Amino acid sequence: MSCKNCGIIPASDSYFRDVTVYADIVRVLDEMVKDGKLETTYMTCPFDRIFSDKNGNIAFYAKKMLHQVRCKECGKIYGLFCDVEVGVGQIKENDKVFNPDDYNKKD
């Protein structure tokens, strides 16, 4: 069953290499967050800073970006990942909220 609220998010296990696909997904998620349909659970930078901000700083030049959102209706979590260096991106369902500490464990 597809959720009426978040079902339009094109989650998939496949990767895309077209930056316009990434830009479209960014725009959709940004609008849904602003409309109160999604809440962000993790982001490497604000959506509106990915491609430009007032000072001309473009976060897209960061090597890797992750934006994770949660549907306020059904609780599904989606992660939008982009590796600019490699030139791939992906949006898919995540089973839990991203915690950077999971990837920075010492010892």
Residues that bind Zn ion (CB under 5 A): 3, 5-6, 71, 73-74, 76
Rounded to a whole number of angstroms, the CA Rg of the chain reads 14
In the complex, least distance from residue 81 CB atom to Zn ion, rounded to whole angstroms = 19
| Closest approach of Zn ion to the CB of residue 5, in Å | 4
State the alpha helices, DSSP H only, in the chain.
19-34
- Cβ atoms < 10 Å from Cβ of 25: 21
Show the CA angle centred on residue 90, arms to residues 32 and 56, nearest 5°.
Answer: 65
| Nearer to Zn ion (CB atom), residue 1 or residue 54 | 1
Q: How far apart are CA 93 and CA 107, in angstroms?
A: 30
For Zn ion, the closer CB: 5 or 40 = 5
Least distance between Zn ion and beta carbon 9 (Å)? 8
Nearest residue (CB) to Zn ion, 36 versus 100: 36
